[in-house]
Structure 1
Amino acid sequence: MSPQPGEDVSSPDSIRPSGIASVFRGLTGSKSTKSPPPLSSSTAALPRTDFSNAVPISSRGLSANHMDAFELLKHGSQSERISAANTLKFAISGYPLNPVLEIWYAAKDLIEQSKPNAMRQAGWELLTECVKHSSSTDLERKEYFQTVAAPANPDDFHLQLAALVDLTNRGRILAGFDYELLPLLTKWLQDAYNAARTARRASQAARGQRSSKNKAAATGEDQNFAQLFAFILDVIKFNFNPADEKSISDLIDCLLDICMSTSVEEDLRSCISVIDAIVTFGSVPSSKLKSTIQVLSSIFCLVQNLNDESWNTLSNLCLSHNGQAAVRILLDVLRNPSANEVSSKDMGRDFRGALAVLQRLLSKTKQSGYPPCSICASGRWLIQHPQNLVIAKDLLCYPSPHQLSIQR
């Protein structure tokens, strides 16, 4: 079990040659009965909370075997460093007292983009063990975050994401980088989507298939994309408060862009889940409310398989403090349809969605919590243009199941 913060630094009394100190040294594997030498100046420069009474790494939990591996990690050949990294990753989790930060500094260059694949993998696995250490200070955690967040080889994204998930304990602990995480995840989400879309196209081209994208085999990039969505959900669920309005707005923009460009149902479902988490655990910024409602309404109207998920999120919006604003946005779409929306063949994505959602709301307004939904003003537009009564009726009919994309 890892010690509580502060327990890895010995006090001046603990290094005196007393009986208790001897027993303690025996438990940690040290055979020496002499007082340890003073801390070197290079180690003292590391950003620990207090190094005044620290002891050298040989007395802090690593066996002689692991000390040899530590030296090879710093100064060995490529193969020796890989072997040393694989050895030390078990030492970090198995020994309660160990020089985690020293190992981190010695190993962080292993994950550089230019390094061979085997070296990068060994480096990421070792660094992942380092970030799990519970006694790390906020300063150390910030440094871990900056290293993990730095640009890495695209082939290592699953390892990079795993390290960040472990550093945050699946979104529960953000100490040291509270305000920096969500902007990073937004960038990663856009990059992961682009990578997944490129991989899907390449996979289809290789097989020469013309079938629906939904039937394409899942790629590694798809798995990365899905895992990133799951992590974002955890972060919003456990740590929404540190997120500022700009960070949330940027994330919503990214989600809506994905919705408007993808034709993969699972992508839409994942985006809806994150938007719903924002509505549930926080709030949609007022500047993004209109675009969010319009896209969700379009999905509700056009994608039958996601009817329940999209309505659930729209319902949560209507039951929130944004309920009246949501209804006004839907009514405004009907009151002020653009020329393109009135004359186009499908009457416009937004117009179709607004009609479908308002129809559903009319059956819900008597229930407690839903805002009143008056369509008198919008009805005047339909009455003044009787031919549109027939069009509006047609708009409320769902498209065929294969019509999945919500692009214009």
Structure 2
Amino acid sequence: MLFKIFKNLEDPIYPLLGPNLWGLRNSGLWQPNKGFSKIIYNILHFFVAVFVLTQYIELWLIRSNLDMALRNLSYSIIITICVVKAGTFISWQKYWKEVFENVTLIEKKQQGKHDDETKKIIAKYTEYSRIVTYLYWCLVIATIFAIVLAPLVIYLSSHKLREEIRNGTAAYPDILSSWAPFDKTRGFGYWVLFGVHTFICSFGGGIVANYDTSAVVLMTFFAGQFEVLKSNCEKLFGNGQEYINYDEVIRRIRDCHEHHVQLIKYSKILNSLLSPVLFLYIISSSLMICSSAIQLTKEGTIGMQQVWIAEYLLALTFQLFLYCWHSTNVLSMSLKVDEGVYSSAWWSQDVRVRRCVVLLAGQLNRRVVFTAGPFTELSVATFITMLKGSYSYYTLLSKK
């Protein structure tokens, strides 16, 4: 049943990005040029943006309570990033569509060459993309359930809290921390806010899941295509024994050059779309991980609360690691492409062709890496540095 559902998400027009496009459309990111659905989705995005403002109002009101402030901050920042992701994707949708369209054209062109090795590489990174997408969706769904069900778990697991609620000395636990112009602690007001918080978690989770998986799948595409290009370069001159006329050799060299130019062009466009968002995310992730760690280790945090916070902390860490790991893969493969030229039978060609080979090797020696703003690259080293920074903040704040 599950495999049948996944199969229905495939799109023959976009063989690599079919499930991701389905997710983007249903989360209101990939919008039509006009129509009723576009209006509805934009209203929902605006509602989420307004809700973020209520979170910061609440943060100001509870600023003297460190525990409550840290809990508010954890959610406020991640929903802010969610709003930024949605806003930038919709505003720059023209460029996202350009990347999607041309990535698909490049892949179909490679598939059309009837090269078994190329098809094997494409099939491998397509399968990997599906695994990452579906597992990430599952992680986000689990996180949403953990956040939404947390108040119920807290209520059922604490006899003291239940007694205080009955006595009127404590309020029902809420999902998120936000301000409301009515009594949100009990009665009708509580259930209204409960519904709002549930919607925010579900809608925001959909945005995060589909934005992140689309970005990671595109990174996987570039790493895979660099591998395809390296393989094509290795086969430029066959095994060195067969005769290949000059025009055919030049055509093959030109194809490899054009392939690389396209990959560089669209990887730069993708980086320009992701870099501002990831810059904000890198900065805020340290604070989110730090505040979650403080809540997790604080005395008085009951067992089920610890499970919930740990799951949330795991999701935050995995989200950042996903970007850093795949950016490192792109960098690694981009640096290996020119090895394909030197592994070819270049020695079997005359001086004219060897000059072209040198020029091609120079062109392929390009470093491709995704960045988080103008200050740092996305890499595993950056991920480790960020974790060290989070630990430093945690050590500082936990002593207060």
TM-score w.r.t. length of structure 1: 0.25
- Greater relative contact order: 1 or 2 (C-alpha under 8 angstroms, separation 6 or more)? 2
Larger radius of gyration: 1
**TM-score normalised to structure 2 length:** 0.25
Write 1 or 2 for the structure with the bigger share of helix: 2
